[in-house]
Amino acid sequence: MLKALNHRILFSLVMGAGLIGSAVLAHHGVSGQYDSSSPIVLSGMVTRATFAPPHPVLSVRVEGRDVPALDLNRPDEFTGPFIVREEDVGEVREIEFSPVGEFYALGDRIRVGDRVTVLALRNCRPPHELRSSWIRLSSGQIVSYSGGLHRRVDGCR
């Protein structure tokens, strides 16, 4: 009886560790593949801003149809031309920001109603979330992180 109980406890611990490990990998984008060949421009009004774990998330009502002039010099992250997807215009899109530490600091500088421009990469894998490490705030200031935090691919296959 005691031996069977010990096996159940051990099994539960192993399964729990596996689930937690999977969540951590998914949370950090390790399993994602972000399409650098089609960087997406999302310009518009912030409708919601959440600065809580696991990632800062902005909801932006996309208003801009034009690609603004951008001089980024980040060929390792953005390998293709910037695009505004027609299906985004007029819609509210959620964008995750990474790295967490860099963008949590914006919690007191971004408000609902602010106009922002975000450059995002789409995850080729479901649920196809948008992730960004670049934003132009309503003040005109650009906050950007050029380190490699997520796996980038040249086109979704």
In this prediction the pTM is: 0.77
Q: How many CB atoms are located within 10 Å of the residue 129 CB? A: 19
* Long-range contact set of residues 22-27: C-beta below 8 Å, sequence gap at least 24: 27/54, 27/55
Positions of the chain with pLDDT lower than 70, given as ranges? 1-31, 73, 75, 147-150
pLDDT at 105: 87
Task: Read off the tokens for 95.
Answer: 């964008």
How confident is the model at residue 87, as a pLDDT? 97
**pLDDT tens digit sequence for 39-71:** 999 999 999 999 988 889 999 999 989 998 887
CB 121 within 8 A of CB 85: no
